[in-house]
Structure 1
């Protein structure tokens, strides 16, 4: 949702996705005309409005070259891989900022970087439980309850956008 907000503020957003492992929202209902298909999810379309998209197979020899060309053009890179993934592809902040010194990079792994659980994958409901949100919702005489949906997925992007904007420098438009 961070990049959705950036797109709504007028940024040119390019979603880079794996052709081998498409985003999970692509398989989420509702589907256009009720017909299931990878490019028919209304849910995916809603969260990816105002974005262009490309698919890249990072195992291909030229994938890194393509990503570096994109980074030369970009002002901001966001990613939410498990820590070390981008570095493993030679696309960590160190490498990218050498190519584009003005680049702002926002990494949003669930458990952050540098701690004992940094490699722990997860998603919104898991994080809601870990931070104790489930213990303050529901009823005292019942088991903890997650708030509806992935609450953190709706809160964190607003702070992410503020952090990105606070680090960004005005750049000439690409139009």
Structure 2
């Protein structure tokens, strides 16, 4: 496809009337922006001439980053030199026509450049800015650099991930960035609703470490009231029995959740041990926590004698809540993922087509859609500057010669 690629610009979804400026990179900000774009918002991504560093993260095929192909999907991209006065003037012009800005520069950086929230809100009082940083816009660690995994460690979350006899582990993806991106999208929508009612926007101060720390919600009062320091417990969940991982005779792992009394009774019926569910030592949730060893040993012994096919048939029949631990190839083969359109094929300018993770959530009344994967850096520069900033093509060319912007000339073929 290459230069002949025509990207679908027909946005649909509940945010189709909204315009978002994304001045963010690697990775919480782009995750937040991707969520808005998937819901139909017009997301204009501002990139340096070399592109968002996320474009070089992860695996590649034919020179294209596969992670960024998804993370930058559904977005328009313009390349602007923010270190130049004219480049920053372009941001102000775009802000006049935008509802929201996402940025993750170090605290104070945009203010020093004259394009922080205060300056942009003077131009557009209703604008909402999501400001993402490692440690927040205030406090003693305000100026400290932080990535998601670093702030995850600082938050205390990393300490409880893994097995008790091994060092703290990490989840094999950018978990804290995704959590932060979710908070950013949710917070932005709250602020936009308020701005719709009042005409006044606001800045949202979103710290990576606080997003991670929020997942420790249950452990905060436990420490305050009881002095309990939570530790790693492997695949189980503290104070929750049954809620654990088990291996079948043919070496397949399943996670089983039977911590609530009705679910525990169904599980015990499934393994033909209804007597355990009726025993006072195991009948209630709190009793099971106090006597967990026998329950766990009984289940491990039962699983070791049964193959996965028999286990799934029995559990399904008895209404047990369980899930097989799938690998990615098994996900691709599973009919439920296909039926829910969670593995759609999307047009790509380099690869032709690429399978990306489907839309979440699904808006049944105003559905969004995956229109395209990541565009080349600067693909929409000329179009955006002429449509929203009042430049003509000759003026854009002059800005490009001056090093203010960069254009990928393929944008002239974009469908309107």
Stretches of structure 2 that go unaligned for 5 or more consecutive residues are 1-30, 198-387, 389-415
The aligned runs of 1:75-90 (5 Å cut-off) are: 75-90=99-114
Match of 1:165 in 2: 189
Change (3 A) 1:66 1:79: same
Q: Cα offset for 1:147?
A: 2.0
Residue 132 (structure 2) pairs with residue 108 (structure 1): yes
Q: How many residues align?
A: 167
Local SS of the residue matching 2:133: coil
* Structure with higher RCO (Cα < 8 A, 6+ apart): 2
Stretches of structure 1 that go unaligned for 5 or more consecutive residues are none
| TM-score of the pair, normalised by structure 2 | 0.38
Equivalent residue in structure 2 for 1:19, among 24, 34, 49: 49
The aligned runs of 1:46-65 (5 Å cut-off) are: 46-65=70-89
Change (3 A) 1:29 1:134: closer
Q: Cα offset for 1:28?
A: 2.6
The aligned runs of 1:125-136 (5 Å cut-off) are: 125-136=149-160
Equivalent residue in structure 1 for 2:170, among 146, 158, 175: 146
CA distance in 2, matches of 1:62, 1:25: 25
| TM-score of the pair, normalised by structure 1 | 0.89
The structure with more radius of gyration = 2
8 Å Cα contact 1:4-1:50 kept in structure 2: yes
Structure 1 segments of 4+ aligned residues over 2 angstroms from their partners: 28-31
8 Å Cα contact 1:76-1:103 kept in structure 2: yes
RMSD: 1.9
Local SS of the residue matching 2:78: strand
Match of 1:72 in 2: 96
CA distance in 1, matches of 2:82, 2:118: 19
Q: Deviations over 1:105-162 (max 9, x none)?
A: 1101111011111111121111111111111111112211122222111112112111
